[in-house]
Amino acid sequence: MPELPEVEHLRRSLDPWVVGGRFGRVSVRRRSVVSFATDRLRADPESALLSNAAIVATHRRGKQMALEAATGRVLVIQLGMTGSVTIERGAHPRGIDAKHRHVIWEFTPAASATSALPDDGGETDRPWRLVFRDPRRFGGLTAYESVEALGEVWSTLGHDALRASGRLLRSSLDRSTRPIKAALLDQAVIAGVGNIYADESLFAAGIHPLRTCKSLHPEDFHRLASKIRLTLSRAVRAGGSTLRDYRDAFGEPGDAVQEHKVYGRAGQPCPRCPARLEGLRVGGRATVFCPRCQDLGSDLSTKLDA
DNA sequence: CGTGGCCCCTGTGGGC
DNA sequence: TGCCCACAGGGGCCAC
């Protein structure tokens, strides 16, 4: 699943094409992936899906991305585990790639994006499309009336993780008994961290994933916030982590997997010390950490007693 | 309040 | 080759 870096890289790859561009007709092939914030939107699904509208902005908070139309309407895109948004033209794909294409828009890209392309030999009749595809359907589209309505919903999310703040993490967590990893995965605490980057950030900060939040010191929160910002911004720059499904707007995978120090490496040597990385489950999610580099701190005695 | 356990889905890889 | 199981980047809900 795409976490913040994948969503942000996707947003950046889409932005120059859709902002200044325009959606034409929309084809909804699986209705259940679309939801509407109000009955008014539900009553006119085409305009709720920004059909025949100019796109004026893209937005993102945490793992959610949104397109804003000149009509004022807003469409949120959530990728879930396997969602993708791609720009394509010409023949529709065949075979396995043709499955799970739930929403397809006719699309006129921004002129500034296409003017940079090589001459297409006069094939101006080949229409562009924007495609939302999602095999597992954990993702989906949600229509809102306005950016104000979107803002109300997004205000229930925590601070965007690219701007993680040690002070904010500390003030919202310093009385919490939850394990720090569970808190990082809670989008109401901080928005955008998922299973990969939670483990990577905790490793970078030298904090054990089972450390209770309240046992962390102010400097731990600050170091963790700083490592979250660093880990995520590096991953954005690498184009995101492609484990299997993630692709950007042009179908390109990202390279951030090369930078993973612990995720998916249980049983392998720690990259920083002679110990071996260990695996466990926190909040039902696979978790990898170094038992030597990542300090259980003042929770140590409690854990040993148990 | 916090957690573990389900559930929503499809696809893939490993073990036999 | 096939079958069955476990597992996967997310998130919501429920009972304890």
Nucleotide nearest to A281 (CA to C1'): B4
A244 beta carbon < 7 A from strand B?
yes
A1 beta carbon < 7 A from strand C?
yes
The DSSP letter of residue A248 is -
Q: Which of A63, A170, A181, A223 is catalytic?
A: A63
pLDDT (tens digit, 9 = 90+) per residue, A38-78? 999 999 999 999 999 999 999 999 999 999 999 999 999 99
Work out the pLDDT band at A304, boundaries 50, 70, 90.
very low
A179 beta carbon < 7 A from strand B?
yes
pLDDT (tens digit, 9 = 90+) per residue, A174-212? 999 999 999 999 999 999 999 999 999 999 999 999 999
The DSSP letter of residue A275 is S
Give the percent of chain A with pLDDT over 70.
95
Mean pLDDT of A20-39: 98
Cβ neighbors of A42 (< 8 A, separation 6 or more) are A36, A48
Mean pLDDT of chain A: 95
In this model, does residue A118 exceed pLDDT 90?
no
Cβ neighbors of A251 (< 8 A, separation 6 or more) are A86, A88
Give the span between the Cα atoms of A109 and A33, in whole angstroms: 24
Nucleotide nearest to A173 (CA to C1'): B1
At A271 the pLDDT is 97
CA-to-C1' distance for A286 and C3, Å? 26
CA-to-C1' distance for A30 and B3, Å? 34
Active site residue A167: no
Active site residue A214: no
Nucleotide nearest to A263 (CA to C1'): C9
